[in-house]
A and B are shown apart, each in its own frame.
Chain A
Amino acid sequence: MSGLAISTTGLVHIYRAHGHDVAALSGIGITVRPGELVGLLGPSGAGKSTLLQLCGGLLTPSAGRLQIGEHNVATMTEAELDRMRAGDVGIVLQGAGRNLIPYLTPADNVRYAQRAAPRDRQLPSPADVLELVGLREHADAALTSLTPGQIQLCAVAVGIATFPGLLLADEPTSQLDHHARDEVLAAIRTINAETGMTVLLITHDPEVAATLPRTITIRDGRIASEGRSGEEYAVVASDGSLPLPPHVAELLPAGTLVQVTTDDGEIRLTAVEQEGTQ
């Protein structure tokens, strides 16, 4: 299956906790092309995991539009979401153990993940899947005999067990040493390259982010910036708003009146002094 595109417009998700509404995402608008490998960055609580879970159909958007390939996630029923996860979207949760049945071998875990796939779907063999992440020779080993890196690779293998169009991975490289981290990252790159699977992964690791062709930074539930091959860019939202990079935002405190002018292709922001302010 080829990669699936992701498209969100004005995506909002609100948690309700102890009688209060908390907006985790406040109108996110992103577009990921099929086959793209995209990293989601941002501080804790920024909304990365929420966005990932929305893409996986684990949460339902409070508002806005979320399109995964042909699936309009916001309007799908529970059964349709189940079918989507069974074939089109693979998910790797943070913490490898949470993705695996502890008493099954890597091969059986892959088989377990393939159980709900549509019958008309041509499924890869567990050996092929494990081959892709470099675990073929450990296909029948007990999980407890694997290294942490191998267990994480196994979790990734389970996520791609049906060769879905989209792989969502929540911090797949956390709690790993550099060598294991690089192995996992390499495996994800291989998957992306060889299957054309769209990959959306969350990471806190700048070194990992730096190796990704595209990154999206989320802050306070909004798109803060995007990175392309090491360069960081601010992104104009569909409503025309532009989140300022942190070093600019420090110069322009909230409430500052800014005059926006264009000059020969350049856009100039000039803070206007107000009465009573400096």
Chain B
Amino acid sequence: MFLPQALRYRWSQALVLAGISLLIGTCAVFAPWFARAVEQTVMTETLAGQPLTAAWQLEARPPRSTTGAATAAKPEDLDRLIPADLRPIFTPPSYGLYADVNWRRPSDPPQQQIVGRLFWRDGYCAQLVLVAGRCPQSANEVAVSTVDQTNYGLKVGTALRATPQGYTGGGKLTVVGLYKPADPQSTYWFGRAPIGYSHLVEYPDPSTSDFLLTDRTTFNAVWGQRSTLDTRPIPSVARIDDLQRLRDATSTVNGNAVEAGLFAQNTSGLIGLVDRVQEERKQATTIIPLVMVQVALFGVVVLALALAAVVDQRRPELAIARLRGSTAGRAGRSLSVELGLPVAVGTLAGALTGFALLLIVRATWLHHGAPLELPWTVPAALALALVVGLAVVLVQVRNVVRQPISGLLRRVVPRRRSRALGLVDLTIIVMALAGLVAALTGGGRGPLPVLTPTLLALAAGLAFAHLLLPTAGLVSRQALRSGRFGLALGALQVSRRPAVTRIVAVVAVAAALVSFAGQAASVAERNRDSRAGYETGAEGVLAMNAVSLGDFSEAIDRVDPERRWFTPMVISRPPSPDSLKTMMIEPDSFRRIAYRGNQLTDEFGTLKAPSEPKPIEIRSAQLTVTAATRPMKTVVPGTSNGQVPPPQEPPKSVVLQANLVSLRNGARYLVRFPALPLVPGKPVELRTQVDCLGGCSLLRLGIGREPNDMTGVRGDVFISKVASDDQPSIALGRAEDWQPVKQLGADQGTIAATSAGQGLTLAVTSLGNDQFLQYATVPQVVPALVTPDFAYNDTSTSPALDASPLPLRKLDLNGPVNRYPDHTAVVDLETVRRLGGTVDESTTDFELWLNAEGLANAQNIIDQLGKAGFAAELADRRADRIASYGRSASALALQLTPVVGVAGWALAIVVLLLMVVTSWRSRAQDYASLRITGVPASTTGRAARWEQTGPVALAVLLGSVCGVVGAQVALPMIPLFADAGGPIPLELDTNWLVAVVLWLAGTVVLTTATLLLGTGVNRRAGYSRIREELT
């Protein structure tokens, strides 16, 4: 009845209640809406970003796939495999037919065959640019690509004779048009674009042509064609609720095809995409509650405090109502309506605000990636917020209304002793600690762990506040004794006002929220950056083709000899994914340029190729060795069954061998000298041709045998001199610089170098196998950094450039290996270069890892490499990966953290305002009374200002600490990434810069507020205040 007047009279209180409720309503509505929008955005962007992976590519083959004239099901028949309920979210099916054919022009000899594909696809003509002729319109007409025109001299009117591969049939085709696809990357083609195949014969590949595009009627004849149906989920139509159905349908489509009697197979990566989206959904549903529920809960606490203060002010009015005969229930209902109205209106307005906020973030952060929809969680959350808000109103009103009229009539509410730990506070502390323990010991993900900072701050804040009251009393007495009246008065006011406990607790929670939000945002960003850095390897990566390490090295040395821009990388892959791959690096430039390259190991020095001895280099067309044998013994190897072997011919000779590594192209050659007869003591000069005019390094010396002279022999071979065209005598170095190369298998013989004058004595036991000594420019066992996921042992090897096994010695690895963190051995590129070998193109990748400057000059580098004959492309960029992670559910959700900061501080200021609003009159009267007794205004001013500023500053510090500690507890439980990230560790260390900045900012904001409010109170402490009363 008198509601409008009541609301008009205390409009500011109604506004505060509505404002707090608005915040709660906004959080309640926005959280599920935003979570849903993030989930939908992640799904939309995933589907849109990987259209081919998401696609269903159904292909039906003829029932008999090798011979005969059977035909596959029609493309339209494959429609049956798309579940009816999913059809609305899939693109209209794109049908196709194709047959792999061999074709030739009638004038070509019959043996000249060009491999090609006769291809029809629904509506393909619209996707072509016809440079001559027209699109095929009837059977056996074809359009050929302009590249085929160049390669094979095709033109409009050319007749082709085509036969299907593995099938009978075929026919004569006529070229009626020359085409280029308008956009080969268009999603229309589903990765089946018709160009990029044409090339003349390249052994072992035959001549190949682009697609021969034809009319569908061509396939009315027998071609053994296959039918295709391509479709994919439409990103803007598919909903998150469809995910599971999509997954189920994808996993069962092949089985359904069998049941339907269709010889069809589906190719799709949709299941993997769905799983990834599901993982990201978990991130959204964990992090968004983390951010919003804490703010909402904090809002509820502040609302409760505000209502307590407001209801306390209504006590006289309640007393009047009771005096005039209203029952407690009726008086309570009236007040509940009066206070519930702004709460309800605020909460409902919060729903609108939440929706507006959603529209803003949808247009900005989410790039319109989510459709506007109303998930059931939104009205549910709104209803919950409304119920909670009104329940808080009812509880607070009930607490006061239940007081007897005589109590309501008293000016001051009878309170318990202020220093006693109230039952409510004790309960809150216990519950907060219990929640904290549950969060710490629960081990699971979910909203509870992320409440840790709030719970911690609440418990610590209340406990601290209760310690503060007696401490303030103590400080007051001491300050009074020392004559510091301002401090004494301020501390005294603190000690006698239990409301301080609420201020301290609320401010501590606000500061903890802000601090935690800052930590969560900064730590997540740091981890996204570092993971992107490790996964990319450096700021950017150029992938390039190369067939020779020598040419590769020469080219990159020409482009960037000082390695200012990049560090080279060669990766040699093993046939088996379970084996080690070899990642060859330049340690010096890697340390500078790779992402955190200097942290990879402390043993870069050991990793590098030895600087001594210097390589033995020759430039010559021949190599001459002067060698002699000492008396040699015949060796009879034991047999595995213990029987005496049959008598053999006595050994006649040994063969000196050498491994030379070309300095021109890096290839490793084996050269054999003529046989050295076993005539003791007689030096023999042996000469062999070598291809070393461009320079070679002598890597190994060894002993072999003639094929018809394999009898075991033991003795010394003395090499007295090695000479080449450019060096009459080549120094072979010390005997200890020549170490035997490990042989695989048992009892393969031995070889060792011993020093003897100026030459080199080889002590050999040869059982027929080749025995080698390797010069110490390359270690016998190559030092390597081996990723910990591989079970390393002394026999572990990884592939060298030519895929030969490289024996490894494991060094200590400090962190994850960039870009290739699994099953990788990092070795020195120079060591591998010295070892030489012909690059196995199929298993070797060449990369240049760029720093920021190199990335800025990437095009320049690519151009220079192009001039040198190397095709390079920018394959990866760290910034792209950071951007990609920035679009993850985790990153999108954590973008809300600034909202937490603003909301936390705003709510804290609201509480401070409320406390001042509800207590300023009595405080002003206190200070006015003191002034009457002669206390100067400056002293009461200091007391008024510092009465709340001191506790608030301490509470900010306490809350900030709780936020930092809580972050350490909660962050490991927050899914920052959809996958575990393999060996790349999460870096959850406290960001102290952020912590300190937020603490200082919070202190400045909140203490400024309290100082201003205190000043205001002191200004009102006039004498008139003492007898102020509505007469």
List, in ascending order, chain A residues with CB within 8 A of B321's CB. 112, 116
- Using A58-B409, A83-B325 as known contacts, list a sample of 4 further A-B pairs with CB atoms less than 8 Å apart, ordered by residue number in A: A78-B327, A78-B328, A93-B409, A98-B316
The answer on a CB contact under 8 Å between A161 and B2 is: no
B2, B404, B1030: the one contacting A96 at CB < 8 Å is B1030
User: Are A148 and B406 within 8 A (Cβ)?
Assistant: no
With A53-B406, A58-B405, A108-B5 in contact, do A102 and B323 touch (Cβ < 8 Å)? no
Instruction: Indicate whether B326 reaches chain A with its CB closer than 8 angstroms.
Output: yes
Say yes or no: B325 contacts A85, CB within 8 Å. yes
Interface residues of A in 156-174 (CB under 8 A from B): 158, 161
Query: Is B203's beta carbon under 8 Å from chain A?
Result: no
- Residues of chain A within 8 A of B325, CB atoms compared: 82-87, 116-117
**Chain B residues in contact with chain A, CB under 8 A?**
1-2, 5-6, 8-10, 316-317, 319-328, 330, 404-406, 409, 1029-1031
| Min distance, Cβ B310 to any Cβ of chain A, angstroms | 15
The answer on a CB contact under 8 Å between A58 and B406 is yes
| A99 at interface by CB-CB < 8 Å | yes
B1031-A151 in contact (CB<8A): yes
Q: A53-B406, A58-B405, A96-B1031 are in contact. Are A101 and B324 (CB under 8 A)?
A: no
Majority SS at the chain B contact face: helix
A62 CA to B739 CA, complexed, in Å: 113
Interface residues of A in 179-206 (CB under 8 A from B): none
The reply to whether A116 and B326 contact each other, CB–CB distance below 8 Å, is yes
Determine whether the beta carbon of A98 is less than 8 Å from that of B317: no
Are A85 and B323 CB-contacts (below 8 A) given A104-B2, A112-B2? Answer: yes
Q: Given A59-B406, A97-B1030, A97-B1031, A82–B9 Cβ distance below 8 Å?
A: no
> Is the CB–CB distance between B1031 and A116 below 8 Å?
no
A149 to chain B, nearest CB (A): 9
Residues B5 and A103 in contact, CB atoms below 8 Å apart: yes
Q: Does A100 contact B (CB under 8 A)?
A: yes
**Nearest chain A CB to B318 CB, angstrom units:** 11
Shortest beta-carbon distance from B11 to chain A in Å: 11
Q: Which 8 A-B pairs have the closest CB atoms?
A: A86-B325, A97-B1030, A103-B9, A116-B325, A85-B325, A148-B1031, A113-B324, A116-B326
Chain B residue at smallest Cβ distance from A117: B325
| Chain B positions within 8 Å of A112 at CB level | 1-2, 320-321, 324
Q: Nearest-CB distance from B334 to chain A (Å)?
A: 9
| Contacts of A97-127 to chain B: CB distance below 8 A | 97-104, 108, 111-117
24 A-B pairs with C-beta separation under 8 A: A56-B323, A58-B404, A59-B406, A78-B327, A78-B328, A79-B327, A82-B322, A82-B326, A85-B324, A86-B325, A95-B1029, A95-B1031, A97-B1031, A98-B316, A98-B409, A100-B1030, A103-B6, A113-B320, A113-B324, A114-B324, A115-B326, A116-B321, A117-B325, A175-B1031
A139 interface contact, C-beta 8 A:
no
Most B CB within 10 A of own CB, among A58, A82, A98, A100:
A82
Q: Which residues of B have CB within 8 Å of A175?
A: 1031
Is the interface on chain A under 10, 10 to 19, 20 to 34, or 35 or more residues?
A: 35 or more
A66 within 8 A of B: no
Interface positions of A (Cβ within 8 A of B): 53, 56, 58-59, 78-79, 82-87, 91, 93, 95-104, 108, 111-117, 143, 148, 151-152, 158, 161, 175
Given known A113-B324, A116-B330, contact A101–B406 (CB-CB < 8 A): no
Which B residues touch A111, using CB under 8 A? 1
Rounded to whole Å, the gap between the CB of A75 and the closest CB of chain B is 17
Per the bound structure, the CA–CA distance linking A104 and B317 in Å amounts to 12
Are B1 and A97 in contact, CB atoms less than 8 angstroms apart?
A: no
A82 to chain B, nearest CB (A): 5
Which residues of A are found within 8 Å of B326, using beta-carbon distances? 82, 86, 115-116
A136-B214 Cα distance, complex, nearest whole Å = 103
CA–CA, A175 and B327, complex, Å: 31
User: Which A residues touch B405, using CB under 8 A?
Assistant: 58
Bound complex: CA of A277 vs CA of B55, how far in Å? 120
A93 pairs with B323, CB closer than 8 A: yes
Question: Which B residue sits closest to A146, measured CB to CB?
Answer: B1031
With known contacts A93-B409, A151-B1031, A86–B324 Cβ distance under 8 A: yes
Query: CA–CA, A152 to B1029, complex, Å?
Result: 13
Identity of the chain B residue whose Cβ is nearest the Cβ of A99 in the assembled complex: B320
Distance in angstroms between the alpha carbons of A158 and B319 in the assembled complex = 14
A96 to B1029: give the CA distance in the assembly, Å. 10
A108 touching B1031 in the complex, CB below 8 Å, given contacts A103-B8, A115-B326: no
- List of B residues within 8 angstroms of A116 by Cβ: 321, 324-327, 330
Give Cα A40–Cα B330 distance, bound, in whole angstroms.
33
Q: Which of A91, A93, A104, A116 is most buried by chain B, counting CB atoms within 10 A of its CB?
A: A116
Cα-based distance from A100 to B321 in the complex (angstroms): 10
A83 to B9, CA, bound (A): 29
B324 — which chain A residues lie within 8 A by C-beta?
85-86, 112-116, 158, 161
Q: How far is the CA of A97 from the CA of B409 in the complex (A)?
A: 12
Q: How near does chain A come to B948, taking the closest CB pair, in angstroms?
A: 28
- Taken together as a complex, chains A and B put the C-alpha atoms of A93 and B322 apart, in Å, by 13
**What's the Cα separation between A44 and B321 when bound, in Å?**
27
Alpha-carbon distance between A147 and B959 when the two chains are bound, in angstroms? 52
Chain B residue numbers with a CB within 8 Å of A87 are 325
Contacts of A83 in B (CB 8 A): 325
In the complex, chain A residues whose CB is within 8 Å of the CB of B328:
78
Residue of B nearest to A91 (CB): B323
Least Cβ–Cβ distance between B403 and chain A, in angstroms: 12
Distance between Cα atoms of A273 and B316 in the complex (Å) = 57
Instruction: Write the chain A residue with the least CB distance to B324.
Output: A113
CB of A92, distance to nearest CB on chain B (Å): 9
Inter-chain CA distance A96–B5, complex, in Å, is 20
| Contact across chains for B1030 and A102 when beta carbons are under 8 A apart | yes
Q: Would A101 and B1031 count as touching, CB distance under 8 A?
A: no
The chain B residue sitting closest to A174, CB to CB, is B1031
Smallest beta-carbon distance B555→chain A, Å? 88
The closest CB in chain B to the CB of A147 belongs to B1031
The answer for the CA separation of A97 and B411 in the assembled complex, in Å, is: 12
What's the least CB distance linking A144 to chain B, in Å? 9
Known contacts A103-B8, A116-B330; is-contact A108 B322 (Cβ 8 Å): no
